[in-house]
Structures are given as C-alpha cells and as structure tokens.
C-alpha cells in the first residue's frame, strides 16, 4: 500500500453504502483524531473483554462518540469483525498517514504534560536535536513548553493515570513532529507495543 493510498483511503475513509427507504445513500465517514485515541484504548485491553462504556469512561468520551468512532475505524479497515484491531493496517497508517491526516498544531508556551521527545519515555534513550519542549496544555501539568494540541481534548485529563496510553500517545506525537532519528526510535517502540498485543 502506497503512502498516497493509505492517506486517501484512511483519512477520508471508504464510502459506505446505506439503504434508506429502498434508496442507496453514499455517506463519507471521515476519520477524526479521537478515533486514534479510541483504537489505542482498545489495544490497551489486550485480550480482555471490554464494553463500549469501559472505553468511553476511561478516555472521557461519551458512549455514542466511541460507537461512532468504531464505525469510522471499521470503515477505514483499522478494525474488523467483532471489534478486532487490524494491527498491520494500523501500523501502516500511524507510520505513513497520521501526520498528514492530523498535522500537529503548535501554539505558544504553556503549562502542561510533556509529550513527544519531551516525554520521559524518550529522554534517556535518545539525544534530541530539538531545543524545544512540547506539552499537551493542562493547568495541572508539571512541565512547561510549546503547546501541542493533543489528538483529543480529554487526553491530558486521563493520561497521567494511564501509563500505556501516555506512552503510546507520546510516541505517536513523535511521529507527528519529530525529526528522522526521533521518528525511527518511536517507530521501533510502537512496533514493540503493537506486536506485544
């Protein structure tokens, strides 16, 4: 699958055929940034059984938002069957399509939670060439740096109590704004995470 195809088919998603009073409707369900948060949360359950309400509660979305997100993920071939994650397609999307679908928005300095190469998961493993610190803005955060809009607004609210989500989303932010060496390291770490599940 080419990068161009991955970006087009997953960001825009596939066209769904739906019947409405005997007439075909073609509805484009575009992926949203929170869909990435949803699928990572699903992965965190590993092989344990989970309910829609469990995902919603832990990432502070409504059950209806999670349900709609799963519909979009299925249409994008990132989830199939009984809500099983397609890890091959997900890795392809994260590594080659994510930063084009959901580009980073960097704003002025603020207090928040360290992300990307500024997070503790990157420090000590690789020397960053960047002089900038990046944070998800959050009034109760303990770090300070350039503000990076998270994939969904609720991320800073639950991330410090969810090590798996924090680590994975921080690596994903490296893919969105890191330099080549940083991105390569984050990809290796994400490969381990995806294969271990």
Q: Is the pLDDT of residue 109 over 70?
A: yes
CA-CA distance, 140 to 32, in Å (whole number)? 26
Among residues 83, 100, 117, which one ends one of the domains? Answer: 100
89: nearest Cα among 102, 108, 105, 76: 76
167: nearest Cα among 111, 125, 106: 125
pLDDT tens digits, one per residue of 53-62 = 999 999 999 9
What is the span of the domain harbouring residue 88?
3-100
Q: How much is the pLDDT for 179?
A: 86
Collapsing DSSP to helix, strand or coil, 188 comes out as helix
Q: How much is the pLDDT for 25?
A: 47
Same domain for 7 and 96, yes or no, is: yes
Q: How much is the pLDDT for 46?
A: 81
CA-CA distance, 34 to 197, in Å (whole number)? 21
Same domain for 34 and 66, yes or no, is: yes
Among residues 75, 100, 125, which one ends one of the domains? Answer: 100
Q: Is the pLDDT of residue 14 over 60?
A: no
Same domain for 122 and 191, yes or no, is: yes
Same domain for 164 and 131, yes or no, is: yes
pLDDT tens digits, one per residue of 156-167 = 999 988 999 999
pLDDT tens digits, one per residue of 164-191 = 999 999 999 999 998 888 999 999 999 9
Q: How much is the pLDDT for 195?
A: 81
Same domain for 95 and 17, yes or no, is: yes
Instruction: Using pLDDT thresholds of 50, 70 and 90, give the confidence band for residue 119.
Output: very high
Structural domain count, the chain: 2
User: What percent of the chain is helix, strand and coil (3-state, nearest 5)?
Assistant: 50, 20, 30
pLDDT tens digits, one per residue of 87-99 = 999 999 999 999 9
Task: State the chain's mean pLDDT as an integer.
Answer: 85
Among residues 57, 83, 100, which one ends one of the domains? Answer: 100
More confident residue, 6 or 37: 37
pLDDT-wise least confident of 10-19, 53-62, 71-80:
10-19
CA-CA distance, 21 to 111, in Å (whole number)? 53
Instruction: Using pLDDT thresholds of 50, 70 and 90, give the confidence band for residue 52.
Output: very high
Q: How much is the pLDDT for 111?
A: 96
Strand bridging mode 15-20 / 23-28: antiparallel
pTM: 0.85
């Amino acid at each position: 699958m080419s990068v161009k195809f991955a970006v087009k088919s997953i960001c825009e998603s596939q066209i769904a055929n739906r019947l409405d009073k005997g007439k075909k409707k073609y509805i484009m369900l575009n992926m949203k940034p929170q869909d990435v948060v949803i699928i990572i949360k699903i992965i965190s359950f590993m092989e344990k059984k989970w309910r829609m309400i469990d995902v919603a509660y832990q990432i502070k979305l409504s059950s209806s938002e999670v349900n709609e997100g799963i519909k979009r993920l299925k249409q994008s071939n990132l989830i199939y069957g009984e809500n099983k994650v397609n890890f091959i397609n997900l890795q392809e999307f994260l590594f080659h399509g994510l930063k084009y679908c959901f580009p980073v928005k960097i704003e002025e300095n603020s207090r928040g939670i360290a992300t990307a190469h500024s997070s503790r998961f990157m420090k000590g493993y690789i020397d960053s060439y960047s002089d900038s610190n990046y944070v998800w803005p959050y009034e109760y955060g303990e770090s300070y740096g350039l503000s990076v809009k998270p994939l969904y607004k609720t991320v800073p609210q639950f991330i410090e109590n969810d090590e798996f989500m924090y680590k994975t989303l921080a690596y994903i932010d490296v893919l969105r704004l890191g330099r080549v060496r940083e991105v390569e390291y984050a990809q290796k770490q994400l490969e381990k995470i995806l294969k271990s599940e």
